[in-house]
Structure 1
Amino acid sequence: MALTTRIIQACLLCCITVLLPLKAETALEQLSFSDQLHYYAEHPLRSEEHKARNRYRNPVETLLFFAIEPQHQVLEIWPARGWYTEILAPYLKEQGQLTIAHHRQLQLDMDDDRQRFWARISRQLSERIEQQPEHFGAVKQLAFDPPELLHLGKENQYDRVLSFRNAHLWDQHGLLLQSMQEFFRVLKPGGILGMVEHRASRVSDITSFAAEGYLGEAYIIMVAEAAGFELLDRSEINANPLDSRDHSRGVYSLPPTLAMGSEDRARFLAIGESDRMTLKFIKP
Structure 2
Amino acid sequence: MLCACGAAPAGGGADSAAAAAAGAQSAPASATAADTPDPSLDQVLAGAWRTPENMARDPYRHPRETLAFFGIAPGRTVVEITPGGGWYAEILVPWLGAGYVAAIVDPQALPEGRRDYYARSKATLETLFASSPERYGQARVVAYDPAAPVFGPPGSADAVLTFRNVHNWRSSGQAEGMFKGFFDVLKPGGVLGVVEHRAAAAVADDDGSGYVGQDQVIALATAAGFRLDEASEINANPRDTRDHPNGVWTLPPTNRHDEADRAKYQAIGESDRMTLRFVKP
Q: What is the TM-score normalised by the length of structure 1?
A: 0.81
Distance 1:106 1:220 in 2: 28
Aligned 8 A contact 1:196 1:276 in 2: yes
Q: Note the 1:134-145 alignment, pairs <5 A.
A: 134-145=134-145
Q: Which amino acid aligns with 2:121?
A: I
Paired position in structure 1 for 2:274: 277
Aligned 8 A contact 1:199 1:215 in 2: yes
Distance 2:277 2:182 in 1: 13
Q: Which amino acid aligns with 1:132?
A: S
For residues 22-69 of structure 1, give each alpha carbon's deviation from its aligned partner in whole angstroms, at most 9, with x where no partner exists: xxxxxxxxxx75322122122110110000000100000000000011
Please tell me whether residue 239 in structure 1 is matched to residue 236 in structure 2.
yes
Please tell me whether residue 212 in structure 1 is matched to residue 206 in structure 2.
no
SS of alignment partner, residue 143 of structure 1: strand
Give the superposition deviation at 1:105. 4.8
SS of alignment partner, residue 184 of structure 1: helix
SS of alignment partner, residue 212 of structure 2: coil
Paired position in structure 1 for 2:131: 131
Q: Note the 1:14-25 alignment, pairs <5 A.
A: none
Paired position in structure 2 for 1:47: 51
Distance 1:279 1:172 in 2: 20
Larger Cα-atom Rg: 1
Q: Which amino acid aligns with 1:101?
A: A
SS of alignment partner, residue 247 of structure 1: coil
Paired position in structure 1 for 2:104: 102
Paired position in structure 1 for 2:186: 187
Give the stretch that moved more between structures: 43-52 or 135-144. 135-144
Give the stretch that moved more between structures: 178-187 or 35-44. 35-44
Give the superposition deviation at 1:111. 3.9
SS of alignment partner, residue 213 of structure 1: coil
Aligned 8 A contact 2:61 2:235 in 1: yes
SS of alignment partner, residue 94 of structure 2: helix
Give the superposition deviation at 1:277. 0.2
Aligned 8 A contact 1:239 1:276 in 2: yes
Give the superposition deviation at 1:128. 2.0
Q: What is the TM-score normalised by the length of structure 2?
A: 0.82
Paired position in structure 2 for 1:122: 122
Q: Which runs of 5+ in 1 are unaligned?
A: 1-31
Distance 1:158 1:198 in 2: 25
Please tell me whether residue 37 in structure 1 is matched to residue 41 in structure 2.
yes
Q: Note the 1:258-277 alignment, pairs <5 A.
A: 258-277=255-274
> Please, what is the CA RMSD of the aligned residues?
2.1
Distance 1:123 1:41 in 2: 24
Distance 2:111 2:208 in 1: 31
How many aligned positions are there? 244
SS of alignment partner, residue 274 of structure 2: strand
Runs of 4+ off more than 6 Å:
none
Q: Which amino acid aligns with 2:228?
A: L
Q: Which amino acid aligns with 1:99?
A: V
Distance 1:104 1:211 in 2: 24
